[in-house]
Structure 1
Amino acid sequence: MVRLLSGCVALCCSLNCLAALQPQSLEQLCTVLNDTQLRAGEWTRYDDGGEGCKSGQRPVKPDAGDNNRISYSAEGGEGVARRVKLTLQVMLPSDDNAAKRELIRATKRLAVRALGRSIPHAFDEAILKASPLNLDVGSGRAMLTRTAINKQGYVLSVVME
């Protein structure tokens, strides 16, 4: 009986540790990637009724001339964050490997900080291949999409909810 009770308690505790978008505060969510130079500013209410914070686009490599850029945003409503998003814009794929690796680095940090869980290795592989993927991460979800801009350029988006 004691084992059954302790097993139930352990299960309840582990279920509470499953991933879901769970920052401690909106301010913390907006600053979660400051150390990667993706500063999203303050949580703001937009004219369309939505809420969130956004970083500006920053070059993947400051000295690169191909203009590959990465940005971060958090979205929600009524003072509650619902999703976070990393966007990698690849304009010239001459150095897209470095850009994808930067997206992997930011994705790993964001997953641990916003979801409380590590992103599976399959997600890293999907980013390197630039192929769409949806994965459950605990009780949350991580999605990778690819959108073509033109013959060479594309956008990779990582969304966590």
Structure 2
Amino acid sequence: MFKHFIVCLTISFPLLAHAELADTDPDSVCQFLAASDLKGRKWTDYGDGTAGCASDYKDIGNGVPLANNLAYYVMGQGNEAERVKLVMNANQPNAAAPAIKQLSNAASKLSPKALGVPLPDSVRKAIAKGEPVVVNVGSGEVEVLKDIWPSGKGYEIQVMMR
């Protein structure tokens, strides 16, 4: 019985191994989208076992009181980046198309750097439609989420790679 348990555990272990970014160096990962005006600031240890960096918000179009915008985040622990995320805030949902396009373009630039392969068309389509999806890609996975704000006055679309 014990041997059977060990064999099952050995066979199952590779399935439990978590995917990771193709490059986990924080200094490198925080700069993945610098050429797209989404340069991450300095890697910071938050003092709670987590660390990360984030870009400034990049405004897309005009809007009062807030324009639609896009930001890039890197999360991890110690000196290792584990996940990257793009967040597009649709503060002006009726004029979100250019922001969604920039989100898709940024995700397309990020995927080869973060996961080692181009972004699949299925993910680009999910971004365009704001539909949730999780797809195994390269060394990890990409997840697209849409969160409609409780106020009903906007939403965000997140693209996470891990």
Structure 1 gaps, min length 5: 1-18
Question: Does structure 1 retain, via aligned residues, the 8 Å contact 2:116–2:138?
Answer: no
C-alpha distance in structure 1 between counterparts of 2:85 and 2:24, whole Å: 18
Is the 2:75–2:81 contact (alpha carbons within 8 Å) kept by the matching residues of 1? yes
Residue identity opposite 1:107 in structure 2 = A
Deviations 1:48-80 (A, max 9, x none): 23111111211023xx22510100010000211
Corresponding residue for 1:65? 63
Paired residues of 1:85 and 1:158 also in contact (CA < 8 A): yes
Equivalent residue number for residue 14 of structure 2: none
For the pair 1:130 / 2:156, whether they are aligned, the reply is no
Shift of residue 36, structure 1, vs aligned partner: 0.8
Aligned to 2:99: 99
Deviation per CA, 1:7-44: give whole Å up to 9, x if none.
Answer: xxxxxxxxxxxx84022632111111011111111111
Identity %: 30
CA distance in 2, matches of 1:82, 1:142: 13
- Following TM superposition, where does structure 1 have runs of at least 4 consecutive aligned residues deviating by more than 4 angstroms? none
TM-score relative to the length of structure 2: 0.82
**CA offsets per residue over residues 93-136 of structure 1, 9 Å max, x none?**
12111111000000001101111111110111111111111100
